[in-house]
């Protein structure tokens, strides 16, 4: 069933930046499909959004599950017939913190982090791209991190020079590469693909030491989801400013 209203799928929408992104985007009139790892969490999130007057649906989506990704595509196809906005928000942090002995990173740690932060995003985007191509102005937002900037990591004077966790940083750098490649592939379409750095935000991952509040952390994703036809594609953005790859 085709609809004029914009439809957005947000992964990891049940808490933190994902939930705030859903709130802010839903407040603009976009229909929100709030995805979470369990149906209960997804339904509870949708109920919270509906209580604020937002048109919302809950969707079970463990992003590392191929079956869940296929089921999500089926749901969106049958319910809406298209997808206008995909926000790949779900992600995991390194279990070793941000100052580990990187030469000792294990295969298990690399596989765990890359499975969610890269492979699942590639798989979900591939699954949903046919629906995004049915949108008049598809938008794909990949939640990256400034810690994925190789340029800044290579600069000993940069503010992130001392925060090196190869599993996490490498997964986000690879995600940035995917953004560049996908944006190039889609350059002759109305679809725009960008990486978002939300900032260092007070979430479970960011901890209370972070300087930014959650509402501010969602602003970059929301802005990229609502880009006009003249907006950028294939860029790495934080609050309207371009970051170095």
pLDDT digits (tens, 9 = 90+) for 43-98: 999 999 999 999 999 999 999 999 999 999 999 999 999 999 999 999 999 887 76
What is the per-residue pLDDT for 77? 98
User: Which domains occur in the chain, in start order?
Assistant: 7-242 (3.40.50.720)
Residue 140 — very low, low, confident or very high, per pLDDT cuts 50/70/90?
very high
The question of whether 168 is a catalytic residue gets the answer yes
Average pLDDT, the chain: 93
Per-residue pLDDT, averaged over 224-233, amounts to 98
Per-residue pLDDT, averaged over 13-37, amounts to 97
Share of the chain above pLDDT 70, in %: 93
What is the per-residue pLDDT for 199? 77
- Choosing from 57, 163, 168, 236, the catalytic residue is 168
Q: What is the DSSP string of 95-110?
A: TT-SS--GGG--HHHH
Share of the chain above pLDDT 90, in %: 85
pLDDT digits (tens, 9 = 90+) for 99-131: 678 899 999 999 999 999 999 999 999 999 999
pLDDT digits (tens, 9 = 90+) for 180-216: 999 999 999 999 999 999 976 545 555 565 555 888 8
Q: Which pTM does this prediction carry?
A: 0.94
Q: Are 211 and 192 in contact (CB under 8 A)?
A: no
């Amino acid at each position: 069933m085709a609809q004029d209203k914009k439809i957005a799928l947000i992964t990891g929408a049940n808490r933190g930046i994902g939930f705030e992104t859903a709130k802010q985007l839903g407040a603009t009139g976009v229909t929100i499909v709030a995805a979470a790892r369990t149906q209960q969490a997804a339904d509870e999130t949708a109920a919270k959004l509906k209580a604020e007057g937002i048109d919302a649906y809950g969707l079970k989506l463990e992003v590392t599950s191929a079956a869940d990704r296929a089921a999500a595509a089926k749901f969106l196809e049958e319910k809406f017939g298209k997808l206008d906005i995909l926000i790949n928000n779900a992600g995991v942090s390194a279990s070793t913190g941000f100052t580990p002995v990187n030469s000792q990173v294990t295969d298990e740690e690399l596989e765990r982090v890359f499975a969610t932060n890269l492979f699942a995003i590639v798989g979900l985007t591939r699954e949903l791209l046919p629906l995004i191509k049915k949108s008049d102005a598809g938008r794909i937002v990949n939640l990256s991190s400034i810690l994925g900037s190789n340029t800044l990591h290579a600069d000993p004077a940069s503010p992130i020079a001392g925060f090196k966790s190869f599993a996490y940083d490498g997964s986000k750098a690879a995600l940035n590469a995917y953004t560049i490649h996908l944006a190039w592939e889609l350059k002759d379409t109305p679809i725009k693909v960008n990486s978002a750095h939300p900032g260092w935000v007070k979430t479970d991952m960011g901890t209370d030491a972070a300087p930014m509040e959650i509402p501010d952390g969602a602003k970059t994703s929301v802005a990229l989801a609502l880009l006009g036809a003249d907006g950028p594609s294939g860029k790495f953005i934080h609050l309207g400013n371009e970051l170095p790859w």
